[in-house]
Structures are given as structure tokens and as C-alpha cells.
Amino acid sequence: MFTYSLKRLAIAIPTLLVLIVVSFMLMHAAPGGPFTSEREIPPDVLANLNAKYGLDQPLWRQILSYVWGIVTQFDFGPSFVYKDRTVNQIIAQGFPITLTYGLISFALAVIVGVSLGVAAAVRHNTWLDYIAVGTSIGAQVLPNFVMAPILVLVFTLWLGWLPGGGWQGPEYWIMPVIALSTSFMASIARITRSSMLEVLTSNHIRTARAKGLPERRVILRHALKPAMLPVISYLGPAFVAMITGSVVVDIYFSTGGIGKAFVDSALNRDYAVMMGVTILVGALTIFFNLVVDILYGWIDPKIRY
Amino acid sequence: MVATTENNVATAQVTKGRSPWADARRRFFRNKAAVFGLLLLVIVTLFALFGGFLAQWSNEELDYNVMGQVAELGGPSIASGHYFGTDDLGRDLFARTVQGTQISLAVGVVGALIAIVVGTLYGATAGYVGGRVDGIMMRLVDILMAIPYMFVLILLLVMYGRSITMLFVGVGLISWMDMSRIVRGQTLSLKGREYVEAARATGVSAPVIILRHIVPNLAGVIIVYATLLVPLMILTESFISFLGLGVQEPLTSLGALIAEGAGTISYGTVWQLAFPLLFFVLTLFGFFFVGDGLRDALDPKDR
């Protein structure tokens, strides 16, 4: 178990380094420098600017010092557009917000999705099953950028129940969370249902029933754990997609999370912030995949470490 | 002796065996959801190909009669020739939806084609060669999979300019990885078969074995996952276009139209969101249903 976790970690670290180096190279190769503008900058000033941001050094030293800054001090350097702000400050402003609605959405999607899937599988071929399958198929074609305008249309414009945007209190959380979690809830419900159906026909469930265990105990204790394996392996990609979805949520609901920082910097060509956000999200992704892998190895005894 | 041969020929003709493809076709057409999905796809495709001939307006013309009063005059009506209404600038939404559907379908199909070519060759090579090469190739895919590709794609679009070519490249870059994993897994189980051994024994070279003997036997799996990839590619493209980073004016895609409709929703112009959304949902439903149906029909695992 321990060596298995170590092995996974040994893949995770080079992945992160590759991500940092690749995004740095991309930025370096992009046409136009960060100080390219309509106004001609005097060469002396340009030289000073380049020296300040370390752009006069050879490429390998730039990469090395960038990586070194991130690894040792968690420092993504200064913003290219806002003179008085560092990338860290910009990220620190939006990240807690993204984390708040992201985690709520994630928890909601897992809890509701799994319950719905289990209920549908246990009551296979009843009205409950059909409703669960129907809604999850329907929700699959409603990604966040489709849900967001529909929610605003219904709950803000027609019914007037919820504020259309901003980030001031729990009532501002509702629509972002629903928009973000719906399609994942549906996918989790579908995966849970089909894997639960498969587990319920297996031998160990028949044995558990034959020895007279109450149905509740059969489901929760004997069926749920093996049925969770495909769901767990879906959680990694789902988490990534949710973080990505924060871009849409931030734009549409003006929640001011990390997605806003990313899009703003994309429109300003503030490469430093874009890279900072990309690397942070990449690190989160890699960390989350690591947790999922370890969890998977812990639940499934068939996986050899 | 001659009589028995004739007799054999006669029985062979009577009980003509069904090919696996005919079998799969039969299973597919018995599946109501799949047939429904196919119908949806036919409708959407016909709309994308021939809808332009029905339009009274081109997708670039501005209707000066409704300009400035889109909310009151720009609604869907047969009389004005704007079947789906107009967009915020007074352009015909029907023509624009036709064009958006064309582009979205094109992105989806091109993304899936790239996935088929690159993913299949990569996965089949890794699986067939095996050993250390396989290990390295698949570790590389693992590493690439852990990269938040949507952010990288946006990074690419911003740095190298937004163009439809860049979008195709970006979508293609990310689409092949899942396919290569699936194909590798299948190849591993195929390469131990007798006919592959026979080919190897007669001295056929590895690239020829992969292309002539392995890949054709993967066709079922490839078709299934390619069909399921198309809607994912359309979703990706729509996501990027929703952010305003995808297809640029005067071109448009369903994602861009949804974004426009969503932006003007508070002016009371619901049709600007409703019609692009309808075609978006129909397309995705169609591909998901057909993909699921094909999987049930072709994937030997679930039988």
C-alpha cells in the first residue's frame, strides 16, 4: 500500500514539472512580448523592463528560476499587466470563492448522484428507476453554460426568487452550485446505477441474502462498496471539469472566482496570471488524481501495489 | 459424391449465415432509443446541409426594420421571413443557427476523426509492440491526461490567435488520448490470436500487421467511441465559444449563439437562446443515443 502510494507520487511530481515547463515554453514561443504595444518603447526602458522581469536571461535560467520560485516559495512572479499586483495576490482573491462553490457542488453531485443511482438500481424497472434514468439522460445535455442562462431566466427573471449574480451570501451560492453540479450528478447517477445493478446480481450478494441479512444491510454494507469503484474513477475527471466549469460560473454569475482571473488575464494577454492559474489547477488536478488512485487501491483489494 | 457436394451447397444457401455486421445492424435497429437518436441526427444534418435554402435572409444581412427594436419586432414569425427571429443586431437567427449547426457538427466530426487516426495508431502501436515502449507511451498519455486541457487550450487560443484551424488543432490534441487507451487495451487481447501469430510466422512486418490485421478488428470499438466522442467535442467547442474564445464573427457556432442568447436574456428575447439551445440539445441527444445503441450492438463485452 505504501509503495503503491509512493509509485503514484513518483508519477505525479514529473507530471507537474512537465506542465510548468510546457506552459512556460508556450508563453515564451508566443508571438509578441509582454511589453509589445502600439507605442514604441525606448530601447533603454525596454532593457530595464526586461531586466526587472528577468527576460534578458537565457531561456533555461528563466525556466529554472520560475520553477524554483514556485517550488520553494509558491511564488508565481509578478503580473505582466497590473504593475502593483503579483500573480499570487490575484489568485488568492478568487481561489477561496472557487473552492467554496466548487466543493459544495462536488459534494452535492456525489451525494445526490450516488443516492439516486442506488435507489434506481434497488428499485430496478419501477417508476423511480425510469424517473432517475430519464432525468440523468436529460441532464447530460445540460452542461454548466447551458444551465446557467436557463436558471437565470427562470429563477431571476421570471420568478424573481434568486439574485442573478454577485457573491455576498448563501442565496448567491444556489444557482452557481446547481449550474455546476447538474451534469455531473447525472453522470454519477448513471454510473452508480449500472455498476450497482451489476453488483446486485453477483454471488456474494446472493449469499448475503440467503443467510437472511436485512435488505438494508445487504445494500449498504455488501453492495455499495464494490459498486463505488467505477464512480471513484470518474471523480478525478469530474473534479477537473468542475474547476474548468468555474470559468463559466464566474463569468455568468459574476462570482469573482479564479475563473474570472483566468478569463480576464486571457483577454488582457496577462500570460503570467494565465500560467499561474493553469499550473495551480494542474497541481490540484494531479493531487486529486493521486487521492483518487490511493482511495481506489484501498477499496479494491484486487489492485496489486 | 457430386450429389453430396451439390447438396451441401444447397443447404449452405438455405441457412445463409449472418455476418457479425448484419447481426449488429439488427440489434441496433431493435433499440428504440438508438433509432430515435439516428432520426434526430438525420434531422439535424438535413437542417445543417439544406436549411440554408429555406432561409429568406443570409446570415450576415442586417434587417434594418427590426434594428433597435429587436425585443418587439425581432421575434420569430413567418411573415417577416425570420422563422427563428433575429439576433440582437437584426441578423436572421434561422440562417445563423444553420451555420452554427454546420460548424459545431464539423468541429465534432473533425475532432473524432483526429481521435480515430491518432488514437488508433498510437494505441495499436503501444499495445502491439508492448514491453518498455508500451510503458513509456502509456505513461506519456497518463501525464498528458493529468493536464487541465481546457486551460491549456484557452492558453493556446489566446497566444496564437483565435482561428477555426487553431480550434481544430486544439480539440484534436486532446481527443485522442482516451481512444488510444481503449485501443491499446483491445490490441493487447488481439495480438495473442492465432491469425496474428500466423501473420508473424509468415514474416509480415509489424506495421503491416497493425494496419491489416489488428486495426480492422478494432473497428467496432473505434466506431462506438468515436460516436461518443463527437458530442464531447461539440461540448468542448461550445464551451470555448461561450467564453468568446472560439469561432470568430462572422462565423458562428451553437456555443457562440447560446452565449449571445444568454447575454441578451434580460431584454426579453428568449428565442435567441431557445432556438440554438434546441438544436444543441437535439444534436447531443442524437449522438449520445446513437453511441449508446452502437455500443450495445457492437461491443461484445456487454452481450
Q: pTM of the entire structure? A: 0.78
Instruction: Name B91's bridge partners.
Output: B62
pLDDT tens for chain B, 303 residues: list them: 445 555 555 555 556 677 777 878 888 888 888 888 899 889 988 888 887 777 777 767 776 666 666 666 666 776 676 777 777 777 777 888 888 898 889 888 888 888 889 999 999 999 888 888 888 888 888 777 777 777 777 877 777 777 777 777 777 777 888 888 888 888 888 888 888 889 989 988 888 888 888 888 888 888 888 888 888 888 888 888 887 777 777 788 888 888 888 777 777 777 888 888 888 888 888 888 888 888 778 765 544
Please state whether the peptide bond connecting residue A43 to the residue before it is cis, i.e. omega within 30 degrees of 0: no
SS3 of A6-20: HHHHHHHHHHHHHHH
- Cβ proximity of B99 and B255 under 8 Å: no
* Those residues with Cβ within 8 angstroms of residue B148's Cβ, 6 or more apart along the chain or in another chain: A240, A243, A244, A278, A281, A282, A285
Q: Which three cell numbers stand for residue B246?
A: 472560439
* Those residues with Cβ within 8 angstroms of residue B97's Cβ, 6 or more apart along the chain or in another chain: B51, B84, B254, B257, B275, B276, B279
- Taking CA–CA distances from B136, the nearest residue in chain A reads A11
Residue from B96, B87, B100, B90 nearest B55 by CA: B96
**CATH fold group of domain B100-303:** MetI-like fold (1.10.3720)
Angle subtended at Cα B7 by Cα B1 and Cα B10, rounded to the nearest 5 degrees: 150
Task: Supply the pLDDT for residue B1.
Answer: 45
- Cβ proximity of B107 and B233 under 8 Å: yes
pLDDT of A45 > 80? The answer is no
Indicate yes or no: CB of A30 within 8 angstroms of CB of B160: yes
Instruction: Name A86's bridge partners.
Output: A78
Q: Which of residues 109-168 of B touch A (CB under 8 A)?
A: 139, 142-143, 146-148, 150-152, 154-156, 158-160
**What is each CA distance from A193 to A30, A94, B44, B234, in whole angstroms?**
47, 36, 31, 26
* Those residues with Cβ within 8 angstroms of residue B254's Cβ, 6 or more apart along the chain or in another chain: B97, B100, B101, B103, B104, B234, B238, B241, B276, B279, B280, B283
Distance between start and end Cα atoms, chain B:
41
**What is the least distance, in Å, from the CA of A34 to any CA of chain B?**
11
Domains, chain A, ordered by start: 1-73+269-304 (no CATH), 93-256 (1.10.3720.10)
**What is the least distance, in Å, from the CA of A278 to any CA of chain B?**
6
- Cβ proximity of A252 and B263 under 8 Å: no
Which residues from chain B sit within 8 angstroms of residue A242, using beta carbons?
none
Per domain, the residue ranges of chain B are 100-303
Task: Supply the pLDDT for residue B166.
Answer: 77
CA dist., res. A16 & res. B235, Å (int): 27
- Cβ proximity of A278 and A215 under 8 Å: no
pLDDT of A231 > 80? The answer is yes
Task: Supply the pLDDT for residue B6.
Answer: 54
CA dist., res. B232 & res. B114, Å (int): 14
Task: Give per-residue burial for A205-238: e unless 16+ CB within 10 Å, then b.
Answer: beebeeeeeeeeebbeebbeebbbbebbbbbbbb
Which residues from chain A sit within 8 angstroms of residue B245, using beta carbons?
266
Instruction: Name B92's bridge partners.
Output: B86
**What is each CA distance from B76 to A35, A189, B79, B217, in whole angstroms?**
48, 38, 9, 50
Q: Is B258 on the interface with A (CB under 8 A)?
A: yes
